[in-house]
A and B are shown apart, each in its own frame.
Chain A
């Protein structure tokens, strides 16, 4: 479980709080999406969970963050990384090796996973992500989607309970983006990982996650179940987050008095709405 208690953080030399009085709880097994405008503090929020704040980035830290009951100020980031793994925003510079296999081995080697176990986990992780054939490939020869899978594999091999992903689809085409979210869904539903994903593409978030957090200038502007997003569409629009088109269509149909149900967020929901409207007509 992750618990923020009135947490604030200002980077050294920063003019304002990157995190501003954040209080929130993320239960084990949750599938949470974090969105918000550029500079809203989404990446900083993830750094507070894995202890990079305040251990790597210096600044003023107030309040507390507890991960599995451990206070992030008191334990070192490598201690926390036994529970929490993060796939960072910049896909290329987070790689520490030139070959896929070495990248996945890195964390396991460091944490002293016994060597017979390492081989097994490597194999399992590669096959879970469907990247067995990339094993000996040079990382810089991979496509964006493949690199993203390697980065996720490198984290999964360490077997964290919580996986943070910072805009994992930022440089991917729509097809690969869906593929990554399908993977996250599997990790959450079948492997019971807690997944927290920072994402600008609201449509993707709405189709997959259970809960959405909207950040604005370091504080939380919205936090609720995905279904509640449609009712607060204006909040999201104010942050420059494009509401799913089906939701906008729903708003129009409601405005015209043709539809009276809950606003849809996904294509499936949109289809149901259109069928209802047509049936009434």
Chain B
């Protein structure tokens, strides 16, 4: 969760329109997926980390890359044994385990996954969810109802966890021992907590719905929001750059 948290700032990236940021993250990811060039994909990962660094998020980008690389490695291993084309690389007892084609396609796939996910995850670091939803409602006329559901879900995560710890503490006070290393035992202990957690969460959601209802939620239109999300020259420039990137990666 921490790696996805919004980090306030006033950098060039921060100041872009939320919709531009969303589009840019997708376009960048698309460029990485379209490209069949290993070196370009690697370069795009490095470039993304550098771009993130301009918003003071270099460290975060590196940590995200590391975590995504672990995921990538997993996909690499699976892909390695499934694709068989080109020359055999690893042969034991007459059975071909790995081929050159498999190696290249596995490497490409896993790097593409890393490269495409990275900008999407960094999006959350430079955009507040409420701004993203607000802009989607105001500019793209996404129904407010959906935007509200998304922002509420994000808001509830910390409430949910603190509630969980409260219940856990209450149980602990009754002598339940949670600090066990045995994973099966731990699951057995924690599972029953989900019922009270769910009931209390549903009650909270209902209370939230009531509070929204009596404050005129049903009267809201896409134009109700006070916050404006104007597009600037920089937004246009960013989109042009990204379209160019897509063209380049499609050609290379």
Interface: A97 (CB within 8 A): yes
- In the bound complex, how far is the Cα of B212 from the Cα of A85, in angstroms? 12
- In the bound complex, how far is the Cα of B208 from the Cα of A88, in angstroms? 10
Q: Which stretch of B34-42, B61-69, B91-99, B213-221 is in the interface?
A: B213-221
Q: Contact between A94 and B226 (Cβ–Cβ < 8 Å)?
A: no
Q: Which stretch of B152-160, B177-185, B238-246 is in the interface?
A: B152-160
Given contacts A56-B213, A108-B226, contact A94 B207 (CB under 8 A): yes
- In the bound complex, how far is the Cα of B225 from the Cα of A252, in angstroms? 60
Interface residue ranges of B195-238 to A (CB < 8 Å): 203-205, 207-208, 210-220, 224-227
Task: Enumerate chain B interface residues (CB-CB to A < 8 A).
Answer: 128-130, 148, 151-152, 154-155, 158-159, 203-205, 207-208, 210-220, 224-227
Q: Contact between B224 and A56 (Cβ–Cβ < 8 Å)?
A: no
Instruction: Give B218's nearest chain A residue, CB to CB.
Output: A78
In the complex, what residues of A have CB within 8 A of residue B224's CB?
109-110, 112
8 smallest beta-carbon distances between A and B, as pairs: A110-B216, A94-B211, A93-B204, A93-B207, A107-B215, A109-B224, A110-B220, A78-B216
In the complex, what residues of B have CB within 8 A of residue A254's CB?
none
- In the bound complex, how far is the Cα of B225 from the Cα of A118, in angstroms? 10
Q: Contact between B214 and A52 (Cβ–Cβ < 8 Å)?
A: yes
In the complex, what residues of B have CB within 8 A of residue A107's CB?
215-216
Interface: A247 (CB within 8 A): no
- In the bound complex, how far is the Cα of B177 from the Cα of A26, in angstroms? 53
Q: Measured between C-beta atoms, what is the minimum distance from B74 to chain A in Å? A: 34
**Contacting A110 at CB < 8 Å: which of B128, B151, B219, B227?**
B219
Q: Contact between A81 and B130 (Cβ–Cβ < 8 Å)?
A: no
Tally of chain A residues near chain B (CB < 8 A): 35
In the complex, what residues of B have CB within 8 A of residue A98's CB?
128-130, 151, 154-155
Q: Measured between C-beta atoms, what is the minimum distance from A88 to chain B in Å? A: 6
Interface: A115 (CB within 8 A): yes
Instruction: Give B159's nearest chain A residue, CB to CB.
Output: A92
Q: Contact between A97 and B130 (Cβ–Cβ < 8 Å)?
A: yes
In the complex, what residues of A have CB within 8 A of residue B154's CB?
98
Q: Measured between C-beta atoms, what is the minimum distance from B213 to chain A in Å? A: 6
Additional pairs, 14, CB under 8 Å, beyond known A95-B211, A110-B219 = A78-B214, A78-B215, A78-B216, A78-B219, A81-B216, A88-B207, A90-B207, A93-B204, A93-B211, A94-B208, A99-B130, A102-B227, A106-B212, A158-B216
Interface: A86 (CB within 8 A): yes
Q: Contact between A115 and B207 (Cβ–Cβ < 8 Å)?
A: no
Interface: A63 (CB within 8 A): no
Q: Measured between C-beta atoms, what is the minimum distance from A235 to chain B in Å? A: 31
**Contacting A96 at CB < 8 Å: which of B152, B159, B226, B227?**
B152
In the complex, what residues of B have CB within 8 A of residue A158's CB?
215-216
In the complex, what residues of A have CB within 8 A of residue B219's CB?
78, 110-112
- In the bound complex, how far is the Cα of B155 from the Cα of A106, in angstroms? 16
Q: Contact between A110 and B217 (Cβ–Cβ < 8 Å)?
A: yes
- In the bound complex, how far is the Cα of B226 from the Cα of A92, in angstroms? 23
Q: Contact between B217 and A77 (Cβ–Cβ < 8 Å)?
A: no
Q: Contact between A50 and B204 (Cβ–Cβ < 8 Å)?
A: no
In the complex, what residues of B have CB within 8 A of residue A105's CB?
226-227
Instruction: Give A110's nearest chain B residue, CB to CB.
Output: B216
- In the bound complex, how far is the Cα of B215 from the Cα of A107, in angstroms? 5
In the complex, what residues of B have CB within 8 A of residue A109's CB?
220, 224-226
In the complex, what residues of B have CB within 8 A of residue A50's CB?
214
Q: Measured between C-beta atoms, what is the minimum distance from A84 to chain B in Å? A: 8
Interface: A140 (CB within 8 A): yes
Q: Contact between A92 and B212 (Cβ–Cβ < 8 Å)?
A: no
In the complex, what residues of A have CB within 8 A of residue B208's CB?
93-96
Q: Contact between A96 and B158 (Cβ–Cβ < 8 Å)?
A: no
